[in-house]
Homo-oligomer: A and B are copies of this chain.
Amino acid sequence: MRANSEIDPICGPGGTRAREVLDLVSDKWSLYVVAALGQGPLRFSQARRVVVGISQRMLTVTLRRLVRDGLISRTVTPTVPPQVTYALTETGHSLRLAVQPLIEWAFTTADDIAVARAAYDAQAEGQA
């Protein structure tokens, strides 16, 4: 049963923080960076190549945010030239695991969604 006063479990009491965390996922690049690091530690320039399409700025911003949230670690090797390595923390790894089903879903469902979109657009076109 669902009363009018019932609230979304995601947004419910105690769920505010969870919501903030989910907002982290809603960042377009966060998931990609985490997925990229899931294969092993990466240096800045490597990550830039692996996460295709990301700008330097967004990589910096995304990495810092993930470090701040304790999802990835940042290790500086004081050599010349300097070398910075990013790696998933344990928490970050748990995120990767939690996200894995979603990734797979995206792959297996991509076709269906493309079809649905085409059908919808075609119909919309017809009655426009």
Q: Which chain A residues have a beta carbon within 8 Å of chain B's beta carbons?
A: 1-2, 4, 6-11, 15, 17-28, 31-32, 35-36, 39-40, 46, 49-53, 67-71, 91, 94-95, 97-107, 109-117, 119-121
Contacts and interface: CB of A to CB of B under 8 A. Distances in A.
Q: How many copies of this chain are found per oligomer?
A: 2
Contacts of A27: 26
A25 B99 CA distance: 11
A6 to B, nearest CB: 6
A40 B2 contact: yes
23 contacts: A2-B53, A6-B49, A7-B50, A9-B39, A10-B36, A17-B111, A18-B110, A19-B106, A22-B102, A22-B106, A23-B28, A24-B113, A26-B28, A69-B116, A70-B112, A70-B117, A91-B109, A91-B113, A94-B109, A95-B109, A98-B102, A99-B102, A100-B101
